[in-house]
Amino acid sequence: MPAIDPSRLERQIAHVMEVFDDPRRLQARCLDLLEFYAARVRQGANAGRVGSLRSLGVPSAVTRRLQQALVERALRAPYAGAMAAETLWSSPVLEGRALAVALLECQPVAALPDWVTAWSHTAADPHLLETLAAGPMRRLWRERQDLFWAAVALDLTAEDASTTVALLALEQVIPDLEPDDLPRLFAALEASPVPGAGEAWRAYVAAVRVAVRRSPSEAARFVVDEIEHARPGASRLARQILADFPPRQREAVRQALRLGETSVLAP
């Protein structure tokens, strides 16, 4: 990987931006720039959760500056930005798709749920699912909470990658929920299937864990109800997050677990 020369980087980015209105050429030039700054040392096998996409290991200073230039242009030319986003999403590397998500966040807010749902199916990497939740879905929450809740309710029942994004988005916004919104949160979780495994399960546990910190009493009531209704995965969830509860709520959840196990063993 060559050293980052700011003046050279600016020339390279200017070269990319010359073809912003031509999505295919824009994608090619973005990928050329990213390849130029790619790390030449392979990541180890234990580098963390990975999907099927290759990461180039481009320094964040490079991707951040390129993203800034693309977003600035997309804000002035939304249609060209949408075309650029779609084309960059087809990139074979993680960094290219991350740029696409940044461009997606510039699109009209009413269009975001459909884009996010469609892209989640082809994200091919858990980090991109997190980026969709932290970017476009977070913007949806800030600007159209009614649309956010409708999108989350729909995606939570989908039982595919869009469910993971919805749960990750909930994890993002739970700390900022108004008290009156908490029943809506737990109602949405109750109405959806409990994920069985993988990224969706991790996101589900993380979201409920944040809910415990936000409102221990309401979260405990939710978990106890899940156990009492013998929902698949409820006991497993309770055991994983038991230590997150304050003593009073922890004992209530523990008691529900004991009763649940007794009812299973009863003839």
In the prediction, which pLDDT does 48 show? Answer: 55
Is the residue at 103 inside a domain?
Answer: yes
Q: Which residue bears the tokens 């509860």?
A: 245
Reading phi first (left if > 0) and then psi (alpha if -120 to 50, else beta), residue 233 is in left
Q: Which residue has the tokens 């993380």?
A: 206
The DSSP secondary-structure symbol of 43 reads P
pLDDT of residue 266: 42
The 10s digit of each residue's pLDDT in 89-123 is 999 999 999 999 999 999 999 999 999 999 999 99
pLDDT at residue 115, rounded to an integer: 96
In a domain, 60, yes or no: yes
Per-residue pLDDT band for 50 (boundaries 50, 70, 90) equals low
Say how many domains are in the chain.
1
Task: Tell me, yes or no, whether 77 lies in a domain.
Answer: yes
Which pLDDT band holds residue 42 (cuts at 50, 70, 90)?
low
- 97: CB partners within 8 A, 6+ apart: 53, 88, 89, 91, 123, 125, 128
Beta pairing partners, 54: 93
Per-residue pLDDT, 124: 86
In a domain, 61, yes or no: yes
**Banded model confidence at residue 197, pLDDT cuts 50, 70, 90:** confident
Domain holding 15, by residue range, is 1-107
Specify if 248 maps to a domain: no
Residues 60 and 58: their CA atoms lie apart, in Å, by: 6
pLDDT at res. 98? 97
| Structural domain contains residue 177 | no
Judge whether 54 lies within some domain: yes
